Chains A and B, each alone.
Chain A
């Protein structure tokens, strides 16, 4: 059981380039999330999805787009990368345990924008 898989694990971009981060989960979870984690800032929610075909903005959505065409996949796109988007990106999916929303995270994708 792979859980949540993120690709790629590392990427270096030049300013203005575009890229897509892929998240795949095999747990049949409805909810999926993209977070970024920066030193001293903690986890900040970029976008999330409550089901196939749906997306919603989180805390820091500017400069990112997402798509959830299939239930198991959640894609995060950067159309024109900026140095401020240098970060570690985490994807997560969630399920309910006795009403609690429990997140399962991927291993992270480290992005550097030069």
Chain B
């Protein structure tokens, strides 16, 4: 079992809709939770991160973490065609004192004009 599970199924939504993406994780020690965005044929880039449980908002993007259920969510309000990308969730894990991120498989999102 991967430490971070993300259903990789593609998601198509009309412009202006709310996009909802979810991940689950297994390691109770995870403290930081990130979302990376990856445009086609580009490297991933950090979208936002949260620490522990709670919500974090950045413009049209909201990240939520529920540590009691080990659930990570990303919401995109008023979605735009420019939001079309693959979104990867990630959590940090420490082994032997070294920080290494555990990534989900990513969700491809297509926003249709």
**Which of under 10, 10 to 19, 20 to 34, or 35 or more describes the interface residues of A?**
20 to 34
Q: How far is the CA of A43 from the CA of B45 in the complex (A)?
A: 13
Instruction: Considering the complex, give the chain B residue whose CB is closest to the CB of A102.
Output: B46
Q: How far is the CA of A107 from the CA of B101 in the complex (A)?
A: 19
Q: A43-B88, A56-B98, A100-B49 are in contact. Are A90 and B105 (CB under 8 A)?
A: no
Q: How many B residues face the partner with a CB closer than 8 A?
A: 25
Q: A107-B43, A108-B42 are in contact. Are A101 and B88 (CB under 8 A)?
A: no
Q: A42-B6, A105-B45 are in contact. Are A100 and B103 (CB under 8 A)?
A: no
Interface residues of A in 44-68 (CB under 8 A from B): 45, 48, 50, 56, 58
Q: How far is the CA of A40 from the CA of B34 in the complex (A)?
A: 20
**In the complex, which residues of chain A have a beta carbon less than 8 angstroms from the beta carbon of B106?**
42-43
Task: Please tell me if the beta carbons of A101 and B42 are within 8 angstroms of each other in the complex.
Answer: no
Task: Please tell me if the beta carbons of A107 and B42 are within 8 angstroms of each other in the complex.
Answer: yes
Interface residues of A in 74-114 (CB under 8 A from B): 90, 92, 94, 97-108
Q: A42-B88, A42-B103 are in contact. Are A103 and B51 (CB under 8 A)?
A: no
**In the complex, which residues of chain A have a beta carbon less than 8 angstroms from the beta carbon of B8?**
40, 42
Q: How far is the CA of A33 from the CA of B32 in the complex (A)?
A: 18
**In the complex, which residues of chain B have a beta carbon less than 8 angstroms from the beta carbon of A34?**
none
**In the complex, which residues of chain B have a beta carbon less than 8 angstroms from the beta carbon of A104?**
45-46
Task: Please tell me if the beta carbons of B101 and A101 are within 8 angstroms of each other in the complex.
Answer: yes
Task: Please tell me if the beta carbons of B44 and A90 are within 8 angstroms of each other in the complex.
Answer: yes
A-B contact pairs, 13 of them (CB 8 A): A41-B105, A45-B100, A48-B98, A58-B100, A90-B44, A97-B49, A100-B34, A100-B49, A101-B92, A101-B100, A101-B101, A108-B41, A108-B42
**In the complex, which residues of chain B have a beta carbon less than 8 angstroms from the beta carbon of A42?**
6, 8, 88, 103-106
Interface centre among A41, A90, A99, A100 (most CB of B within 10 A): A100
B71: shortest Cβ distance to chain A, in Å?
18
Q: Check if B12 is an interface residue, CB within 8 A of chain A.
A: no
**In the complex, which residues of chain B have a beta carbon less than 8 angstroms from the beta carbon of A106?**
43
